[in-house]
């Protein structure tokens, strides 16, 4: 059935499809085949309506992307890619329908298929609706029933693959790509997985058969055409859901102004005397293209929630995007309190005013340990840190740590040799003027493994869907690279991967025990044709800290 929100008409058409398929399986009179015209016509109308809706979605998305490219541009490109993938699948199925009708009716493809409008001759104009030999040969092949042939490129002048086995692979790739791109959209992924589910099923005789054989082997042309139309309708429904999800996610980045919450994020609330109190004050979930005005009251000034004003002198904060940056000299010891107000004027809406408080404590000097590059330590690396205590020279400090090794070099301190624990603690004592030692505090840090790298083959990752012949033949093997990682020069080495292709209808798999293509793999690549797919799976790599990482798989269609 189609995904998500369906009109009563679509639900009725889906139910009719199931009933008529069951009647067909029981060998009722072939007059029932005429009813598939009604089903196919209903699917066509539903697809037209969905396409209209998707066009509206994409038009609005494009308009927003042109108006605010920084906010909408990247997500619009994602939506465009999904739209193209869905439309390519839609066209592919239209070509299958057109080919089966043209062969069965003895017509040319041009008489059946309008390429400019991507439409296929309506079933009402097809005479041989009850034929099944020609469409079975086109979609299943001449092989044994349990093993439908894959490649049809040598059987037609177009050199095009019309096999339903290839269609199944395309639909699975479409399904899997959505699961990869939207891991947090659990309901969407579950719905798509259920729609494009191709498990073996039992026929009317109780025999277990494949999805391809049940739906397309010796099934009349009217029924197979209607089934293909249903798959197209499912594709468009999923496309609409996915594009809607992408649009909703980027829209969610803009606060709807139904509720506004002020936020004050201090760098620290416990300040050493002589230092500075720093904090970010901003409106949560706010659009940085329209920053608010933020006023901070002088000491003792209060915010009046009735008048929505400060009752004394104030200064306007400098802005960093949507955030007001606070810097207050920490002159006195003890608790400190300041109040301020955020004033925001959303486009086309009523002005919003919110008060906020700043509370912090100025204290005597304490230990400060700041990671040079991040707020965590990574196993297997040398993690640089700076260690200082206000009021003390570096030579007066004696730091130590748990769950790791702390060493000092020419460029400062470094943490290495981290153990299996989830935290590491750096403590420090300082030498006093009288020669005694004083404990000035300790700081906890998280300990993590270096994140998994991304596997690339021929410059393509799992996020890619295709590869050119030139790129494929130039590929030397699989590499693993860390993306957006704070440390430079951290390397992973691929230790093995599996390379497979479907050649002459048979899946061929080869395994490399290094990061390089084997001679057999290169030979497979030399025989590759456009439209075929290559699969790089079971990718393993080793990096800092030892241990083997599994990096998933890459599926690419040859252009």
- Look up the CATH number of the domain holding residue 535: 2.60.40
Tell whether 106 and 142 lie within a shared domain.
yes
Tell me what pLDDT residue 28 has: 43
Tell me what pLDDT residue 27 has: 47
Six token digits for residue 104: 């069965």
106 belongs to a structural domain: yes
Q: Is the pLDDT of residue 23 over 70?
A: no
Average pLDDT over residues 518-543: 92
Average pLDDT over residues 52-59: 87
113 belongs to a structural domain: yes
165 belongs to a structural domain: yes
| pTM (2 d.p.) | 0.45
Cα separation, 513 vs 493, whole angstroms? 12
Beta bridge mates, 534: 501, 556
Select from 387, 335, 375, 391 the least CA-distant residue to 359: 335
Tell whether 104 and 51 lie within a shared domain.
yes
Tell whether 467 and 432 lie within a shared domain.
no
257 belongs to a structural domain: no
Tell whether 326 and 381 lie within a shared domain.
no
547 CB contacts (<8 Å, ≥6 apart)?
none
Tell me what pLDDT residue 261 has: 53
- Secondary structure (H, E, C), 372-409: CCCCEEECCCCEEEEEEECCCCHHHEEEEECCCEEEEE
For 250, phi then psi, to 5°, come to -75, -35
Q: Are 363 and 271 in contact, with CB atoms under 8 Å apart?
A: yes
Q: pLDDT, tens digit, for every residue of 149-198? A: 666 656 667 778 888 989 999 999 999 999 998 888 888 899 899 999 88
Six token digits for residue 387: 């260690």
Q: Are 240 and 232 in contact, with CB atoms under 8 Å apart?
A: no
Cα separation, 265 vs 360, whole angstroms? 11
Tell me what pLDDT residue 25 has: 46
33 CB contacts (<8 Å, ≥6 apart)?
24, 129, 130, 220, 222, 223
Cα separation, 324 vs 534, whole angstroms? 52
**Radius of gyration of the chain, Cα coordinates, nearest whole angstrom:** 32
Q: Are 283 and 255 in contact, with CB atoms under 8 Å apart?
A: yes
Last residue of a domain, one of 363, 395, 421: 363
Six token digits for residue 28: 């009722």
Q: Is the pLDDT of residue 275 over 90?
A: no
Tell whether 233 and 280 lie within a shared domain.
no
Tell whether 45 and 163 lie within a shared domain.
yes
Tell me what pLDDT residue 423 has: 93
Average pLDDT over residues 462-484: 91
Tell me what pLDDT residue 184 has: 82
Average pLDDT over residues 257-271: 54
Tell whether 78 and 137 lie within a shared domain.
yes
Average pLDDT over residues 71-93: 92
User: Token match 């993938």: residue?
Assistant: 85
Tell whether 269 and 327 lie within a shared domain.
yes
Tell me what pLDDT residue 336 has: 83
14 belongs to a structural domain: yes
Q: Are 382 and 371 in contact, with CB atoms under 8 Å apart?
A: no
1 belongs to a structural domain: no
Average pLDDT over residues 501-520: 92
DSSP conformation class of 171:
H
Number of domains within the chain: 4
Work out the mean pLDDT of the chain and round it to a whole number.
82
**Confidence grade of residue 432 (pLDDT, cut at 50, 70, 90):** confident
Tell whether 458 and 313 lie within a shared domain.
no
- Three-state SS for 425? strand
Q: pLDDT, tens digit, for every residue of 435-457? A: 888 888 888 899 998 889 999 99
Domain that holds residue 386: 367-448
Select from 257, 258, 296 the least CA-distant residue to 280: 296
Average pLDDT over residues 13-22: 55
Select from 357, 263, 348 the least CA-distant residue to 310: 357
Average pLDDT over residues 297-311: 89
Tell whether 124 and 19 lie within a shared domain.
yes
Select from 538, 347, 541, 321 the least CA-distant residue to 453: 541
Tell me what pLDDT residue 32 has: 62
Q: How many CB atoms lie within 10 A of CB 164?
A: 29
Which of 24-38, 315-329, 431-445 shows the lowest per-residue confidence on average (mean pLDDT)?
A: 24-38
Last residue of a domain, one of 420, 448, 476: 448
Tell me what pLDDT residue 173 has: 93
Select from 391, 421, 392 the least CA-distant residue to 404: 421
User: Residue 535, CB half-sphere, CA atoms under 13 Å: how many?
Assistant: 15
**Confidence grade of residue 67 (pLDDT, cut at 50, 70, 90):** confident
356 belongs to a structural domain: yes
In residues, how long is the chain?
Answer: 559
Tell whether 399 and 488 lie within a shared domain.
no
Tell me what pLDDT residue 486 has: 77
Cα separation, 93 vs 550, whole angstroms? 35
Q: Is the pLDDT of residue 422 over 70?
A: yes
DSSP conformation class of 544:
T
Tell whether 441 and 504 lie within a shared domain.
no
Last residue of a domain, one of 251, 277, 299: 251
DSSP conformation class of 33:
G
256 belongs to a structural domain: no
> In CATH, what number is assigned to the domain containing residue 434?
2.60.40.10
């Amino acid at each position: 059935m189609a995904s998500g929100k369906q009109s009563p008409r679509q639900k009725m058409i889906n139910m009719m499809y199931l009933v008529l398929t069951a009647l067909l399986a029981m060998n009722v009179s072939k007059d029932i085949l005429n009813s598939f015209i009604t089903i196919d016509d209903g699917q066509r109308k539903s697809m037209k309506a969905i396409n209209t809706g998707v066009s509206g979605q994409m038009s609005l998305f494009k308009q927003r992307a042109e108006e605010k490219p920084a906010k909408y541009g990247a997500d619009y490109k994602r939506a465009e890619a999904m739209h193209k993938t869905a439309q390519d699948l839609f066209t592919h199925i239209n070509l299958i329908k057109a080919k089966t009708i043209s062969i069965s009716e003895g017509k040319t493809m041009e008489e059946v298929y309008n390429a400019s409008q991507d439409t296929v001759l309506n079933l009402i104009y097809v005479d041989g609706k009850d034929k099944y030999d020609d469409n079975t040969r086109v979609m299943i092949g001449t092989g044994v029933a349990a093993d439908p042939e894959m490649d049809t490129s040598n059987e037609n002048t177009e050199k095009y693959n019309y096999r339903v086995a290839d269609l199944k692979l395309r639909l699975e790739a479409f399904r899997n790509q959505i699961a990869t791109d939207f891991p947090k959209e659990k309901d969407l992924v579950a719905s798509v997985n259920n729609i494009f589910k191709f498990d073996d099923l039992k026929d009317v005789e109780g025999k277990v058969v494949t999805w391809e054989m049940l739906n397309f082997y010796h099934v009349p042309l009217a029924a197979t055409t209607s089934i293909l139309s249903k798959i197209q309708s499912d594709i468009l429904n999923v496309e609409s859901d996915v594009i809607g999800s992408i649009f909703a996610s980027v829209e969610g980045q803009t606060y709807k102004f139904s509720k506004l919450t002020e936020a004050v994020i201090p760098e620290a609330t416990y300040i050493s005397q002589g230092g500075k109190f720093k904090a970010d004050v901003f409106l949560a979930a706010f659009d940085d293209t329209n920053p608010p005005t933020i006023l901070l009251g002088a000491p003792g000034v209060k915010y009046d929630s009735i008048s929505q004003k400060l009752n004394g002198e104030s200064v306007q904060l400098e802005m960093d995007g949507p955030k007001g940056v606070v810097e207050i000299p920490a002159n006195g010891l003890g608790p400190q309190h300041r109040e301020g107000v955020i004033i925001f004027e959303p486009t086309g809406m009523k002005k919003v005013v919110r008060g906020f408080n700043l509370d912090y404590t100025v204290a005597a000097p304490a230990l400060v340990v700041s990671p040079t590059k991040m707020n965590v330590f990574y196993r297997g690396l040398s993690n640089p840190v700076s260690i200082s205590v206000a009021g003390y020279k570096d030579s007066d400090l004696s730091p130590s740590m748990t769950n790791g090794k702390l060493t000092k070099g020419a460029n400062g301190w470094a943490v290495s040799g981290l153990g299996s624990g989830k935290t590491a603690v750096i403590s420090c004592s300082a030498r006093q003027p009288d020669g005694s030692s004083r404990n000035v505090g300790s700081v906890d840090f998280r300990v993590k493994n270096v994140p998994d790298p991304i596997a690339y083959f021929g410059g393509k990752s799992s996020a890619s869907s295709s590869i050119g012949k030139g790129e494929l033949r130039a590929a030397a093997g699989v590499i693993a690279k860390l993306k957006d990682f704070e440390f430079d020069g951290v390397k992973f080495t691929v230790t093995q991967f599996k390379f497979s292709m479907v050649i002459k209808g048979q899946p061929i798999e080869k395994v490399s025990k290094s990061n390089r293509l084997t001679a057999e793999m290169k030979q497979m690549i030399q025989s590759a044709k456009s439209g075929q797919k290559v699969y790089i799976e079971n990718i393993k790599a080793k990096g800092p800290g030892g241990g083997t990482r599994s990096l998933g798989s890459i599926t690419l269609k040859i252009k």
